[in-house]
Amino acid sequence: MEEEINSYKRKLKRLETELSLLYEVSNAMRTTLDLDEILYIILTAITAHAGLGFNRALLFLVNEDGNCLEGKIAIGPGSAEEAGKIWSEIDAERMTLEDLISCYEEFRSNPSQLDQLVKSIKIPLRHDGGILALAAMEGMPIEVLDNEVRSKINDLVIDILKADYFVIVPLKAKNKVTGVIFADNIYSRKPITKEDIKLLTMFANHAGLAIENSKLYHQTLHLSYTDSLTGIYNHGRFQYLLEEKLKEAKENDRSLSLIMIDIDNFKNYNDNLGHPAGDEVIKKIADIVKNSCRKQDIPARYGGEEFALILPNTSKEEARIIGERIRKRISDYPFKNKEIQPQGAITVSMGIATFPEDAEEKKELIQKADLALFTAKNKGKNQVVVYSIYLGVR
């Protein structure tokens, strides 16, 4: 009887610990919608002594196409020596789970070798993709807890990780597998129990929902500042980003150029061929502008048939060269029915203004670039005009 009571007390204590852990981690995940930070919170809880206590935890998410697992984050020591050092420091400083979760910025600034390794891994979701892919496709936990089972596994990723005994659990949201978590005790050699696996699975279910909510939030946010036709930034986002990039240019004493772009005689094309044909032209020109940009450049749809291109850290002459490259690529492109246009081609006119020589503030910079664009139109179209304070434009 006494043994039964003690067993019951142990179960209650374990349940209390599990609920407390889930509550603490759920609260931490509710404080952010940043996906990377959520992933860090999840794996920190899995590896912390105050959490699930695994030595290593790796997280993979299914990509957008649904055909591949991509490594996103890993937490854990790179060697037994490092493990001992880290665990001693945590014990000495009496760090709680909350303390470890608060170290996200430090983790992000100094990624471990294990984290970098995992982020380079992509696993095809097919039956020959290995054991991680199998866990994702089956949607069930996989336990490898003894030599007999381990000897039957031939998996490159598991071999790279030098893993022997481990567990893989799927991440789920709305009954759909969104990823997997791998966990092991490679250094402490602590046995992975059925209770460990049960708790890890329960925890993964909560984590899956948090990850899905973060993704939905960012998808909604993305839709709110992109143009639905072209996929580039919309007018509102352009105004915000130009303001931000001008602040950066001022703080760092650097130049910034703005190109305003307008499709020549677009009304003629639209009226003769209809709006669907006009939309195709707008989409293609947006693609050409986007693909002609450097990594730092920011293309946007300003409105109608007009585009804007923010060029951080770019002089007026550099902007002119970029503008000419884009103008030529557009005029050379074999658009359908381009021969109905007055110039026998789809062309654009551009106006350029540069901070700080032409304008100090956003509104004035746009006005100067617009004035240069207006001049390009009046001078015959299909050309790039650069604003000049002395000549008005040139």
- Dist CA 1 CA 210 (whole Å): 43
Residue 2 annotated in active site: no
Contact assessment for residue 48 and residue 100, using Cβ atoms and an 8 Å cutoff: yes
Q: Where are the beta strands (DSSP E) in the chain?
A: 56-62, 68-75, 122-124, 142-144, 166-173, 176-184, 256-263, 298-303, 306-312, 348-355, 384-388, 392-393
- At which residue do the structure tokens 């039964």 appear? 4
Catalytic residue among 305, 339, 360, 364: 305
Kindly report the length of the chain.
394
Contact assessment for residue 52 and residue 206, using Cβ atoms and an 8 Å cutoff: no
- Dist CA 111 CA 115 (whole Å): 6
- Dist CA 355 CA 234 (whole Å): 22
3-state SS class at 358: coil
Q: What separation in angstroms does the CA of 13 have from each of 6, 16, 206, 244?
A: 10, 5, 21, 53
Closest by alpha carbon to 46, among 27, 22, 70? 22
Instruction: Please name the amino acid found at residue 73.
Output: I
Longest dimension (CA), the chain: 100
| DSSP per position, 229-262 | TTSSB-HHHHHHHHHHHHHHHHHTT--EEEEEEE
Which letter does DSSP use for residue 345 in this model? S
Instruction: Please name the amino acid found at residue 18.
Output: E
Determine whether 11 is exposed, middle or buried from the number of CB atoms within 10 Å of its CB (0-12, 13-18, 19+): exposed
List active site positions: 305
